[in-house]
Structure 1
């Protein structure tokens, strides 16, 4: 999603080649998303990008009504209060008590007594959004090359020469939108890494009894131990909210993480787990401060970072791509991001300081 969305914004302003290591775009994190849009997800520094993306996503038909519900026990009521306080007036968040919770989550166990409703939370059609950006970029003249794993990148005669499994490509500016492989791309290009770390996140599709109601909100543990949402046919998608550091790879779900997810769900609702229908894992990649990285490498006008999107790269894609394009092209920001200060996202914040 990162490369496709930025390519769509840049293609009309110059020649763009998108180099994809896999046989098709979106194979890794983009194709394994939990597919929701939440203004609280990622924290207060990510929220402006998510909120700014909302109008584009709604107008484009990429969002579907869902609603989100952060839940906690009485002993953790302060977490609910801190969450609401952290976003101030930027996000519509509404406190709920026990009666409101059980009306929205059938079978909720007694210890869950505090909640915070996030009514703007929505499902997001990830495949449609990704296809939109791929089509928009191609229509504007961008070229896509797949099966082009990176071998080396070096400056030659004032331009980059990028050697891949699909041939050698040249360009004035190299954009690093490689997700979990972002640091590896930088190293291959002779730059210092900035500490982009991939983490494995597990998802499980379950059939439960009683069937999950279609209007069930996205249910999020305020302490960050799980989230789940309904899927077609009364199923649910469940994650134990795991973050296991790992090298860049084709991630797969581990049995211990699947078991952990189910155990945490069983502590929330009295549903019976009929079977695990599907399980998968994806990589979420973060900078050390867990804030996205957009901008030219310090002292360089030829290497542009577009990385560290964590698990919120899809929901922030419209705003992030427009902000990235404005920084790369040194042009006035698009109106949807005009009020967003780019300073917190610039890569120079991650450089060692004396």
Structure 2
């Protein structure tokens, strides 16, 4: 039987980053069911940092994470971000959505259809009634980030056990007992960083699930339009999130921005959903999709109010939620990792109290 101060269930970017922060002053063990860390949502992320992405709580997390991305001390010797930009366009019937997106946002530039087409020359400018550009949106080097946190965790004495699918979680007098991969582990605190499996993990621990719902998100790599160097293009898409595209190693990654509720599983794309999304992309640009080079899908898991859940479970002593990050998991991970460490060790979080309260699982009891 292996003892730790904190057991973290889930080796995605949320679990690994939180473990690295906690390991500075605690004996931390991460249990990952797959053969490698970051296998599911982390490894399939669109990997872009957008400060204005999400609701007010998420934007506060983005702001808190930004300095860590830019100066990732102990994680990398230089910034995890590189220039990209985000350009969202709207048709006449979508202008209300564009206005709502701009409300409360910072650092946005309003563009005409012609100006949008100057940045992404394959756009059909005619149907574009308005556009908004966030120049400060940046690519995230997700693999360097994940591996950097993993090295930091190891250097602080933490441990990751892969191939350790959790079979049971029980609470004793003063500690949890977790059986995973045929081994038994104990700790007074268990962090539920199970991603799409967060609710099943909660049920194993004997507490109430919170309605964390996984949604499939698909993507495909297509050749770059002939005659164009796409590497300097921003991420671009419809303000209604019916599709988006992003330069990727000299090619284009296109997503139908699908959000179909599914059970937690090793996700794969639905051919019809992918085809419909690519059709919407084709309607907005001058170049047809001639072939797919690769396609995949991942799971984005949301709480009912689409805000992450971070904090101790009010019904299960020592069970901590770090779940429901949706499509914001990578870009909020540095901020949520530090919040997790502060709350578990009894320190005062750096985030505003209203942000901490908005993330707490106790909000579902009101």
Q: TM-score, normalised by structure 2?
A: 0.91
Match of 2:357 in 1: 343
Report matched runs for 1:110-259 at 5 Å: 110-210=126-226, 211=228, 213-233=230-250, 235-259=251-275
Q: Give the drift of 1:99.
A: 2.3
Q: Which segments of 5 or more consecutive residues in structure 2 lack a partner in the other structure?
A: 1-12, 73-78
Q: Distance in 1 between matches of 2:71 and 2:243?
A: 30
Structure 1 stretch displaced more, 300-309 or 73-82: 73-82
Q: Runs of 4+ in structure 1 displaced over 3 angstroms? A: 337-340
Q: Give the drift of 1:59.
A: 2.2
**Correspondence for 1:278 among 265, 279, 294:** 294
Render the CA deviation track for 1:44-76: whole Å, top value 9, x for unaligned. 221111121111112231101001111101232
Q: Give the drift of 1:325.
A: 1.3
Q: Give the drift of 1:212.
A: 5.2
Q: Give the drift of 1:111.
A: 0.3
- Tell me if the contact between 1:101 and 1:113 (Cα under 8 Å) persists in the aligned partners: no
Does residue 42 of structure 1 match 2:54? yes
Q: Distance in 1 between matches of 2:278 and 2:240?
A: 17
Report matched runs for 1:282-301 at 5 Å: 282-301=298-317
Match of 1:10 in 2: 22
Match of 1:302 in 2: 318
Does residue 98 of structure 1 match 2:110? no
- Tell me if the contact between 1:180 and 1:198 (Cα under 8 Å) persists in the aligned partners: yes
- Tell me if the contact between 2:44 and 2:297 (Cα under 8 Å) persists in the aligned partners: yes
Render the CA deviation track for 1:294-353: whole Å, top value 9, x for unaligned. 00001444100000000111011111111121112110224xx367730100001123x5
Count of matched residue positions in the alignment of Structure 1 and Structure 2? 346
Q: Cα RMSD over matched residues?
A: 1.5
**Correspondence for 1:81 among 72, 89, 99:** 99
Q: Give the drift of 1:125.
A: 0.5
Q: Distance in 2 between matches of 1:79 and 1:184?
A: 35
Match of 2:7 in 1: none
Q: TM-score, normalised by structure 1?
A: 0.94
- Tell me if the contact between 1:294 and 1:347 (Cα under 8 Å) persists in the aligned partners: yes
Q: Distance in 2 between matches of 1:127 and 1:55?
A: 19
Q: Give the drift of 1:107.
A: 2.2
- Tell me if the contact between 1:202 and 1:242 (Cα under 8 Å) persists in the aligned partners: yes
- Tell me if the contact between 1:226 and 1:238 (Cα under 8 Å) persists in the aligned partners: yes
Report matched runs for 1:306-317 at 5 Å: 306-317=322-333
Structure 1 stretch displaced more, 269-278 or 146-155: 269-278
Q: Secondary structure at the match of 2:286?
A: coil
Q: Which segments of 5 or more consecutive residues in structure 1 lack a partner in the other structure?
A: none
Q: Secondary structure at the match of 2:88?
A: strand
Render the CA deviation track for 1:143-175: whole Å, top value 9, x for unaligned. 111101010010124211101114000001111
Counterparts in 2 of 1:212 and 1:45: CA distance versus 1, 3 Å: farther
- Tell me if the contact between 1:212 and 1:236 (Cα under 8 Å) persists in the aligned partners: no
Q: Distance in 2 between matches of 1:175 and 1:73?
A: 44
Render the CA deviation track for 1:222-252: whole Å, top value 9, x for unaligned. 111111111112x101111101111110000
Q: Distance in 2 between matches of 1:158 and 1:82?
A: 49
- Tell me if the contact between 1:72 and 1:113 (Cα under 8 Å) persists in the aligned partners: yes
Q: Secondary structure at the match of 1:28?
A: coil
Match of 1:27 in 2: 39
